[in-house]
A and B are shown apart, each in its own frame.
Chain A
Amino acid sequence: MRSHFILIALALLLTAAPEPASPQSRHGTIRGRVELRKLASAPERRPGVGDPGTPPPRDFPDLRRSVVYLDSAPRGAFETSEGGHAVMDQRNETFVPHVLAISTGMTVDFPNSDTFYHNVFSLSKTQRFDLGRYAAGRSRSIRFDRPGIVRVFCEIHSHMNAFILVFGHPFYALTDTEGRYRIENVPAGVYNVVAWNEGTASDHRSVTVPAGGTAELDFTLR
């Protein structure tokens, strides 16, 4: 009877224990390219019929960047909370970058680099916040503790919006302007990988990450 209890206790410990620190050779890399068949169009200003003058010129957001991430992460990956800071600037009536990928526990700073007020807010279920109006040279920050997609707006300039993707694990990457991405230090195994881009349907693909090797995985988003 006693030996049964010991066996059950050992089994539970093995199940719940975080994965032991793996040697580098037991980790691999996922890399590839995300091709965008359809690029979302940048939001336009409202017609502004009531304004007597033409509004000043503004920048347009870079909508080519996608985010690739593991839909299910290895056991133990969710227990890490990285902390740290990321920056989403407000410049020429545009959030820069337009898409930010961060881990839970990170804080995003929103400096105002324009000469007029901005008011960053989000009504997303993941994180509801409002940083109020603040002037040029000032910055406000918000910490993100729950994973999910947070859509960010400016209350004063309705054409300004951006996305913050918050992950409970570190296995995600932002593509470069050519659509290339690379997720490193992924424990060997089989994963469901997702490619996300604003305004397109996400693509889910399965991939096997070899120990010490690289898995190639390309996506096409429509």
Chain B
Amino acid sequence: MTASRAVAVLACLAVVSPAGAQILPSEPIAFADGRITIGGDVSASFGSRDPGFFDFTDYDHSAFRLFRLDVAAAANVGDHVRVLGEIRTENFGQVRLYALYVRVRPWTTKSVDVNIGRVPPTFGAFSRRTYPSDNPLIGYPLAYQYLTTLRPDSVPGDAAELLSKRSSGWLVRYRYGNQNIDKGVPLVSAFRWDTGVQVHTGSGAIQATGAVTAGTIANPLFHDDNSGRQYVGRVEVRPIAGMVAGFSGARGPFVSAVAARSIFGDGHDREFTQTAWGADLEYSRAYYILRYEGIVSDWRMPIVRAPELTLPLRSVSTMIEGKYKIIPGVYVAARFDYLGFSDVTATAAQGPLPWDAPVTRVELGGGVSVQRNLVLKLSAQRNTRDGGRLRPKETLVAGQVVFWF
């Protein structure tokens, strides 16, 4: 998609805006007596170069230099059925179908929904607020964005090969499986949704969501790449006003059938799994919001030869975030983030080392609302990487414009 096409999309949105006096819509666009609604999020970030690849979401895209356009739509088809979808483009590239699913509500009086298709994330708290309008800062939490050196379709033969790739998750390949160089996966992908069936129930104090999907939380898929399914669930509790506590779990085959076959032959692709647990807590009151989220992810990868991988390959993330409104329309925010990895040993002389380089991130920033749905953000981010081949420390600064309707 070219820049002119993106401008054309925005121009179309402006023309169909119900608020004729405004250049761009301030509310969702509704058709057919409100049965069809269209909303959107547009953001443009520009900041420092990132030679350490701390904020890259793949080889081409850094969260600090990104134009992103999301257009979402919902259509009510009677009392029981709703169709929801979303398309997204980044840096005027290909327009991708981010979400498309049918929501069936079997009983109108009971709070039970069944989603079928490319469904919303079940695992974690941040996964539902990845939109720039929901994110108080410009960067993402490490667990949802930082690319580890693991790939589902390319597998290291031993611990030495895995350790040699530390910090190069933005572009990595191994001896077994797909030989094309490509990006690794984060603990939980914030950039793709999985495909399957999801059931959600509850409202108010307790809510629960469960899903069976094709991919894993690190590698959501449209077409399954192995013969197993992921089972993922989340329970959310609201014990007092302003507090939300969530607990998530997920387990599914991670390594693709092609990669598993290249090592062990057919029939083993379900054995190499990603298992993850998450806990999150949010408390808000008056002018502040505090959030915590911790995730533990275990990967069981194929053991091919010595020096063997020490399984599971564990990764632990901890994130604390705060936002405080200082005057109407102006806020400050901060996030502390740590991503650690379990040890593996390649040689006795080298000793045990984390299988990927641990990363610490501190981001400070704030935002000013020019109008309700137009926000200017500024962020400064300090990243520290303990080991690996790439630059170990980096300070990045970026500004972002966010518009939503």
Bound together, the chains give a CA A158 to CA B35 distance in angstroms of 18
Cβ-defined contact, A47 with B37, below 8 A: yes
Nearest-neighbour CB distance to chain A for B365, whole angstroms, equals 18
Contacts of A46 in B (CB 8 A): 28, 37, 39, 72, 404
Is A75 an interface residue, CB under 8 A from the partner? no
In the complex, chain A residues whose CB is within 8 Å of the CB of B202: 53
Judge whether B115 and A52 touch: CB under 8 Å: yes
Q: Please give me the residue from chain B that is nearest to A123 by CB atom.
A: B329
How far does the alpha carbon of A158 sit from the alpha carbon of B134 in the complex, in Å? 12
A130: Cβ under 8 A from any B Cβ: yes
Contact with B along A122-137 (1 / 0, CB 8 A): 1100001110111110
| B242 and A54 contact, CB distance less than 8 A | no
Is there an interface contact between B37 and A44, defined as CB atoms closer than 8 Å? Answer: yes
The total of interchain contacts (Cβ-Cβ below 8 angstroms) comes to 109
* Contacts A133-B285, A134-B286; A53 near B207 (Cβ below 8 A): yes
Residue pair A53, B203 in contact (C-beta under 8 Å): yes
Residues of A within 8 A of B39 (CB): 46-47
Tell me, in angstroms, the Cα distance from A41 to B128 when the chains sit together. Answer: 28
Report the minimal beta-carbon distance from B54 to chain A, rounded to whole angstroms: 25
Task: Find out whether the CB atom of B372 lies under 8 angstroms from the CB atom of A153.
Answer: yes
A111 to B203, CA, bound (A): 23
Number of interface residues of B (CB under 8 A): 53
Q: Tell me whether B46 is interfacial, beta carbon within 8 Å.
A: no
> Are A123 and B371 interface neighbours, CB within 8 A?
yes
Q: Return chain A residues, CB-CB under 8 Å to B329.
A: 121, 123, 128, 130
> Could you give, for residues 19-63 of chain B, a 1 whenever the CB lies within 8 Å of some chain A CB and a 0 otherwise?
100000001101000100111000000000000000000000000
Assess whether A49 is in contact with B72, with CB atoms less than 8 Å apart: yes
Main secondary structure of the interface of B (DSSP, over half): strand
For B326, the closest partner residue in chain A by CB is: A130
Instruction: Identify which of A41, A50, A54 contacts B113 (C-beta below 8 A).
Output: A54
Residues of B within 8 A of A56 (CB): 203
User: With an 8 A cutoff between CB atoms, is A199 at the interface?
Assistant: yes
CB neighbours (8 Å) of A153 from chain B are 372
Tell me the bound Cα distance from A210 to B82 in angstroms: 58
Q: Is the interface of A mostly helix, strand, loop or mixed?
A: loop
Query: How far apart sit A159 and B203, CA to CA, in the bound complex (Å)?
Result: 19
A130 touches B38 (CB 8 A): no
Q: Is the CB of B328 within 8 A of A199?
A: no
Check A133–B209 contact: CB distance below 8 A.
no
B345 interface residue per 8 A CB criterion: no
Asked whether, in the complex, the Cβ of A133 is within 8 Å of the Cβ of B19, the reply is no
Asked if residues B72 and A47 are in contact (CB atoms below 8 Å), the reply is yes
Docked Cα-Cα span, A115 to B204, in Å, equals 8
Q: A46-B28, A47-B72 are in contact. Are A52 and B241 (CB under 8 A)?
A: no
Known: A45-B28, A123-B372. A130 touches B209 (CB 8 A): no
Which residues in window 124-157 of A have CB below 8 A to B?
A: 128-130, 132-136, 153
| A49-B85, A116-B241, A130-B329 known; A44+B201 contact, CB < 8 A | no
Known: A117-B241, A123-B372. A51 touches B30 (CB 8 A): no
Out of A40, A44, A122, A123, name the residue touching B28 (CB < 8 Å): A44
CB contact under 8 A between A129 and B328, given known A46-B39, A47-B39, A117-B241: yes
Assembly CA distance A130 to B371 (angstroms): 13
Output the nearest chain A residue to B130 by Cβ-Cβ distance. Answer: A50
* Contact indicator A47/B74 (Cβ below 8 Å): yes
Instruction: Flag whether A43 is at the interface (Cβ < 8 A).
Output: yes
User: What residues on A are CB-neighbors of B85 within 8 Å?
Assistant: 49
Q: Does B213 contact A (CB under 8 A)?
A: no
Residues of B within 8 A of A44 (CB): 27-28, 30, 34, 37
A199 to B181, CA, bound (A): 55
Is A20 part of the contact surface with B, judged by Cβ < 8 Å? no
Contact across chains for A159 and B372 when beta carbons are under 8 A apart: no
The reply on B163 being an interface residue by CB < 8 A is no
* Bound: A158/B372 CA distance, A: 9
**Bound CA–CA A117/B285 (angstroms):** 9
Q: Which residues of A in the span 22-47 have a Cβ within 8 Å of any Cβ on B?
A: 40-47
List the A residue with the shortest CB-CB distance to B27: A43
Docked-complex contact A128 and B286, CB < 8 angstroms: no
Q: Which chain A residues lie closer than 8 Å to B404 at the CB level?
A: 46
Contact A130 B328 (CB under 8 A): yes
Please give me the residue from chain A that is nearest to B289 by CB atom: A133
Task: Look across to chain A and name the residue whose beta carbon is closest to the beta carbon of B287.
Answer: A132
Contact B37 A117 (CB under 8 A): no
Q: Which of A88-125 contact B (CB under 8 A)?
A: 115-117, 121-123
CB of B86 closer than 8 Å to a CB of A: yes
Which residue of the partner chain A has the closest CB to B99?
A49
Residues of A within 8 A of B (CB): 40-54, 56, 115-117, 121-123, 128-130, 132-136, 153, 158-159, 199
Q: A44-B27, A52-B200, A123-B371 are in contact. List 14 more A-B contacts (CB 8 A).
A: A41-B34, A45-B37, A47-B37, A52-B198, A52-B209, A53-B207, A123-B329, A123-B369, A123-B372, A128-B329, A130-B325, A133-B242, A133-B286, A158-B27
13 A-B pairs within 8 Å (CB atoms) are namely: A45-B37, A47-B86, A48-B84, A49-B74, A53-B111, A56-B203, A123-B369, A128-B328, A132-B285, A133-B285, A133-B287, A136-B241, A159-B27
Closest 8 CB pairs between A and B? A135-B241, A47-B74, A132-B286, A53-B200, A130-B328, A52-B200, A46-B39, A47-B72
